[in-house]
Amino acid sequence: MMVKRKLREPLEDRKGTLFFDGFSVKELAEKYDTPLYVVSEKRIRDNYNRLHDALIRNYKYIRVYYAAKANSNLTVLKILKSEGAYLDTVSPGEVFMGLTSGYTPDRMLFTGTSVRNDELKFLADANVAVNVDSQSELDRLLKIAVPPVLSVRINPEIGAGHHTHCITAGPDSKFGLMEEDALKAYATAKKARVERFGIHMHIGSGILDVEPYVLAVEKLLSIAKRVHDEVGIEFEFIDIGGGFGVPYKPEDQEFDLAAFASKVVGPFKGKVTEYGLGKPFLCVEPGRYLVCDASILLTTVNTVKVTPSKKFVGVDAGFNTLVRPTMYGSYHPVIVANKLGAADKETCDVVGPICESGDALAKDRALPLVAEGDLLAVLNVGAYGFSMSSQYNARPRAAEVMIRQGKPMLVRKREQLDDLMSSQRMAE
Ligand SMILES: *Cc1c(COP(=O)(O)O)cnc(C)c1O
């Protein structure tokens, strides 16, 4: 019996074979080999516009800062820049890549944590706005230079996220300053004659629910009001961070943009007026939301092994290529790209080539009968996929192909064996 799988854009079932943004993934795998990341330019643009439009309908002054760490491929950065995105950076390397892909310094915000003095010097020289994460960072920065724009990362004491590693606010978080400390930091900055200000929070990642934002934004604005009234600071922007989730599991719902607009953006506008905060930009910093579902990972089945307790499907991508399942226990949909019409027949672990037992892309997953040579597609890998990949086990990193202007284009070549040794020096 042929089954019809429910596929979301840009995935399509054409006669049992998976197509991605109009191209046969089988042909892409043949041409570029596996493991292979395939990215859809169109989907990135659609995601950006859907989010931007939902926000701007409710408040006129919106800035979308793309969080580069989700996927820092230069072509991805460029595409988002062409849509009007700003850039959220967390390291000098990301600032460097942002500059390289055409973002001017005034379109970037640096939100680091545990930042070195030479890094602060780099940011000051680059003229990038700094969002400080501690009084220590602020004091050290002001000894080096007075930044053009300064913002303080607030811990609004409300966090959320798909995994404890990804909750970035609340009582146990290393990030941000608590209310009283933030007031002191702004006073320090004002005394040092910083002229332009923002205020920031980022509460976590992979948040599907609007409620944590409602509470955290209320808290952030109440702190902004105190800073405004007690320290005398006008805010150019109020940045409420990223974290907007995407559905990974079949039962997950889409992030409800309409609810976000009505329950967060609407009240934001009201409170900003009520508190006399002027007309600051409302900034958001989505990473995952913009790029996650715009990419799939193609991987070939090497071995099929049956043990008394399990069936293992061994593929050529492991946690060196996609670490999220191992690192966070994350769920990624896996489909047999050349057998879309075949019904699920058995439960398998999809495992990689890394010599560690934690190396699994999927566990106890219902799949059709899988054979050696089959092509699997792991979905929703555009965020924290390639960017977290490594050369562990001395495996060169995968290639990235983008479907761009109606054709596939290699946007990162596959690493070769030489790349494993490029920065090593052989001892005499
Ligand atoms: C990682 C990060 C983001 C983006 O998080 P997503 O969950 O990918 O949207 C935004 N802001 C800061 C400061 C970050 O560190």
Which candidate in 283, 292, 348, 355 is catalytic? 355
**Cis upstream peptide for 148 (omega within 30°):** no
Task: List the pLDDT tens digit at each of the 428 positions of the chain.
Answer: 678 888 999 999 999 999 999 999 999 999 999 999 999 999 999 999 999 999 999 999 999 999 999 999 999 999 999 999 999 999 999 999 999 999 999 999 999 999 999 999 999 999 999 999 999 999 999 999 999 999 999 999 998 998 999 899 998 999 999 999 999 999 999 999 999 999 999 999 999 999 999 999 999 999 999 999 999 999 999 999 999 999 999 999 999 999 999 999 999 999 999 999 999 999 999 999 999 999 999 999 999 999 999 999 999 999 999 999 999 999 999 999 999 999 999 999 999 999 999 999 999 999 999 999 999 999 999 999 999 999 999 999 999 999 999 999 999 999 999 999 999 999 99
Instruction: Give the torsion sign (CA, 58, 61, 67, 71).
Output: positive
Q: Candidates 205, 208, 260: which one to mutate for ligand 1, based on the most atoms within 8 Å of Cβ?
A: 205
Q: Candidates 66, 69, 108, 295: which one to mutate for ligand 1, based on the most atoms within 8 Å of Cβ?
A: 69
Ligand 1 pocket: which residues have CB below 6 Å? Answer: 67, 69-70, 88, 90, 111, 202, 205-206, 241-244, 285-289, 383
In words, the CATH class of domain 104-286 is: alpha beta
Name the pairing type of β-strands 346-351 and 149-153.
Answer: unpaired
Angle of helix 92-100 relative to helix 74-83, nearest 10 degrees, comes to: 70
Q: From the CB of residue 245, how many other CB atoms can be counted at a distance below 10 Å?
A: 21
Q: Whose CA is nearest to atom 2 of ligand 1?
A: 67
Nearest-angstrom CA–CA distance, 145 and 340 = 58
Contacting residues for 153 by C-beta, under 8 A, at least 6 apart: 111, 131, 132, 133, 175, 176, 177, 200, 201, 202
Residue ranges covered by each domain of the chain: 11-40+292-421, 104-286
> Is residue 355 flagged as an active site residue?
yes
Instruction: Give the torsion sign (CA, 84, 228, 205, 261).
Output: negative
11-40+292-421 CATH fold: Lyase, Ornithine Decarboxylase; Chain A, domain 1 (2.40.37)
Which two tokens mark 15? 């006669």
Q: How far apart are the CA of 185 and the centre of ligand 1, in A?
A: 23
